[in-house]
C-alpha cells in the first residue's frame, strides 16, 4: 500500500475536529500533490417539517453552507493546493458520503473529524465510525 494519495475527500462542518481534519487534508494534499475535494452535508433531518417545506429556508441554509465550504476552498488555494473543489450534498452525512460522494468522485482517502457539532452523531454514535466501517477506501479520523 502506498502512502501517496491522488484524490482526497475531506468532510467539513463548523466543529473543531472538522477543522483539524481539514488542516491534515491540506498537509496530505500538499505532500502527495493530490486533488482535494471538500464537502459538507446539509442535514435535512435536523430541520423541522416547516423548515423542510419552506424553500426559502432550505435555500438560505444551502447558501450559508456553500459560503462556508467556499471559505475552505479559498484556504486550500492559499495553501498552494491547485486542484480543489467544493461539493455540497444533502442527507445523512455518513450515508451520503459513503454511498454517493465516494462513488461519484472516487477519492482514495477520506478524512473526517471524529465528532460533529450537528446531527445524531453527537448523541448516538459517530458518523465517522459509520464511514470508517462502510467506506471502500482508506478513512482517516482526526480528533483535535
The yes-or-no verdict on residue 51 having pLDDT over 80 is no
Q: Which domains does the chain have, with CATH numbers?
A: 7-142 (3.40.50.620)
Q: pLDDT tens, 83-98?
A: 999 999 988 889 999 9
What pLDDT is attached to residue 78? Answer: 96
Higher pLDDT: 51 or 18? It is 18
**Cβ neighbours of residue 115 closer than 8 Å, sequence gap 6 or more:** 15, 17, 121, 122, 126, 128, 143
pTM, rounded to two decimals: 0.84
Q: Which of 34, 46, 58 is nearest to 110 (CA)?
A: 34
CB 8 within 8 A of CB 28: yes
What pLDDT is attached to residue 126? Answer: 77
Q: What angle is formed at CA 107 by the lines to CA 35 and CA 69, rounded to 5 degrees?
A: 60
DSSP letters, 45-90, are: GGS-HHHHH-HHHHHHHHHHHHHHHHHHHHHHHHTT--SEEEEEEE
| pLDDT band with cut points at 50, 70 and 90 for residue 22 | very high
Amino acid at each position: 500500500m502506498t502512502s501517496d494519495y491522488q484524490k482526497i475527500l475531506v468532510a467539513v462542518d463548523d466543529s473543531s475536529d472538522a477543522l483539524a481534519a481539514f488542516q491534515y487534508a491540506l498537509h496530505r494534499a500538499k505532500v502527495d500533490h493530490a486533488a482535494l475535494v471538500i464537502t459538507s452535508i446539509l442535514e435535512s433531518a435536523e430541520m423541522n417539517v416547516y423548515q423542510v417545506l419552506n424553500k426559502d429556508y432550505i435555500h438560505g441554509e444551502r447558501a450559508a453552507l456553500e459560503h462556508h465550504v467556499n471559505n475552505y476552498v479559498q484556504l486550500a488555494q492559499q495553501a498552494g493546493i491547485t486542484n480543489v473543489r467544493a461539493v455540497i450534498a444533502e442527507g445523512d452525512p455518513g450515508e451520503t458520503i459513503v454511498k454517493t460522494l465516494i462513488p461519484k468522485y472516487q477519492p482514495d482517502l477520506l478524512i473526517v473529524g471524529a465528532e460533529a457539532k450537528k446531527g445524531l452523531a453527537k448523541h448516538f454514535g459517530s458518523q465517522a465510525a459509520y464511514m470508517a466501517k462502510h467506506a471502500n477506501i482508506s478513512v482517516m479520523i482526526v480528533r483535535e
